[in-house]
Amino acid sequence: MIDKTIAGLKVGDNQPVRVMGVINLSIESFYSGSVVKIDYVLDAALKMIDEGADLIDVGARSTWPLAQKISKEDELSRLIPAIKQLQDISVPLSIDTMFSDIADEALVAGADIINDVSGFTNDPGMVETAREHSCPIILMASNNVPGDPVGMDAVISSLGRIISQAEEKGLDPDSIIIDPAIGRWTREKYPIYDYETIDTLGRLRIFGKPILAAISRKSFIGETLDKPADERLYGSLAATAIAVRNGAHIIRTHDVAPTVDAVRMAERIRGKKQEIHQGAVEAELIEIMAQDDGAKAMISIGTTVEGSQVMKKKTVLYNIILKNVTTTEALIIKQEMLARGGDAALPKEAVSHEAENVSIIISGTALQMERLIHKIKNQARGLPQIAAQLDELIKNNNDTVHRYS
């Protein structure tokens, strides 16, 4: 169960989903409607808090790949006056920067949290800054440049490396919040990869860290709906609701009031994570969506790498319905599944041979399905074709481009 305290704010599975309001000081931003002038920073923050914001995130450098670049001096000159205005607000204050010296000055001026979209890759000194201030830090999936991992497997690999390196360097594991880098951070990152990230956001639970989703008005929404940034609110709310349903703990947004409503509905619909505590023993239901995630979960409890590789194909369960197969084929498939530890459901007409063609539901792990396919692909009747269909079905399900195109 994920349950952390971040700058005095409880975040996790048993807490309300937290909403982070964005104070944007960057005139180079992709969304000009979000830019706040320095004289109105405090008013903007107080309005967001009144609308339900649990945190405020302040940034002065646009991370939009097409934005005009600014100097560190310009970034600092915008940020520090804003931070000083906000040092006494009633919610935690996050500073959005990739530079350790800027983060240091912002923390001294009153910020509580570092939001580093480079995931420590831009400035290695950021780890030391976070450790010195004992502050929470938001780390976004990044390898060489911010947000460059393409696909959820790459996001997980990047975050795993970033987290391991941060903890090895002495960062408190409970201080880390993870961000899967939703958005067109690089040319190669097409909308389908953001669809996949939002749809499979729950895969990030393997890290045991609060998950932040920064979705608000991003380019994948514009490309999907063919709308400019100032017309992407409804698309943002739809994507936000799905992200919350799939496990987001914090939502970063330019539009606090409508986002709060979307979040509250989605979090009630998703229900609670199930766990039971009795004495020293804890029992928790975990959902494993991909074989490699199963391996990571096992390694996290001390299973050997070799053991996790042997076991991982047993962690993903498939339920597949085959329609209009012959009764003989259905009976063979059931027998073969039973022989491999899986099972299959048949109508009574199949058992009594009263029907020529029937439907069958087969249930089994990825390993059992793999062995079934291997067994029946060389048998008689239509079984080789069925084996090919099962193989293609499972491969398509695991193919991001096929699934989200």
Residue numbers annotated as active site: 218, 252
DSSP 319-387: EEEEEEEEHHHHHHHHHHHHHTT-EEE--HHHHTT--SEEEEEEEEEHHHHHHHHHHHTTSSTTHHHHH
The DSSP code for 68 is: P
Helix%, strand%, coil% for the chain, nearest 5: 50, 20, 35
Chain mean position to CA 166: 19
How far apart are the C-alpha atoms of 249 and 3, rounded to whole Å?
A: 10
How far apart are the C-alpha atoms of 161 and 271, rounded to whole Å?
A: 31
Chain mean position to CA 307: 27
Helix residue ranges per DSSP H, 169-289: 191-199, 219-225, 233-245, 256-270
Chain mean position to CA 215: 11
3-state secondary structure of 405: coil
Beta bridge partners, 35, equal: 24
Q: Computed from CA positions of residues 173, 176, 177, 181, in that sequence, does the dihedral angle turn out positive or negative?
A: negative
Q: Measuring CA to CA, how many Å separate 173 from each of 16, 112, 125, 140, 299?
A: 22, 17, 18, 15, 17
Reference 59, options 118, 11, 127; nearest CA is: 118
3-state secondary structure of 360: strand
Q: Round the CA-based radius of gyration of the chain to a whole number and report it.
A: 25
Identity of the residue numbered 7: A
Instruction: Report the Cα–Cα distance between both ends of the chain, in Å, rounded.
Output: 33
